Amino acid sequence: MNQYVKEFLHRGLIFGGFGPIILGIICAVAEPVLTGGELLLGIVSIYLLAFLQAGASVFNQIEGWSIPKSMLCHFAVLYAAYVGCYLVNRWIPFDWRVVVLFTAIFVVVYLAVWLTVFVCVKLTSRKLNAKIG
């Protein structure tokens, strides 16, 4: 299990910096009015979001885990990171109806992406198996 923790941290550290870079690009293009504290909070929270998102991809590679277990852990980390980041930065209001709507959209998009990846991997593996066999 230790190798997966190291891989989680490694991926997070490599890709975490992309979050603040994207925030910088958005600020440069949209020219939002942010205080220094809001900008610092945005940089730190987006870094953590990108770090967790990149690191969470390791759950899919833990051989002893079933697909539902890895999917649930991946989903939980991403959901917590996104909803936390959005609420902390006040990109969505702290209103239970808005959080429920955000959650519904997040679940639908998450499942659509997972299903697309799953189908693509299945089709590719069938093609490879047909060429081998």
Q: What digits encode the pLDDT tens for the residues 37-61?
A: 888 898 899 999 999 999 998 998 8
Same domain, 3 and 57: yes
CB within 8 Å of 13: residues ≥ 6 apart: 51
Same domain, 79 and 116: no
Give residue 119's domain range: 93-133
Number of domains in the chain: 2
Same domain, 7 and 61: yes
Q: What digits encode the pLDDT tens for the residues 59-110?
A: 988 989 998 999 999 999 999 999 999 999 999 999 999 999 999 999 999 9
Which of 59, 81, 85 has its CA nearest to residue 72?
59
Same domain, 47 and 1: yes
pLDDT bin (cut points 50, 70, 90) of residue 12 is: confident
Same domain, 86 and 121: no
Same domain, 39 and 53: yes
Residues 84, 103 contacting (CB under 8 angstroms): no
Rounded distance between C-alpha atoms, residue 93 and residue 115, angstroms: 30
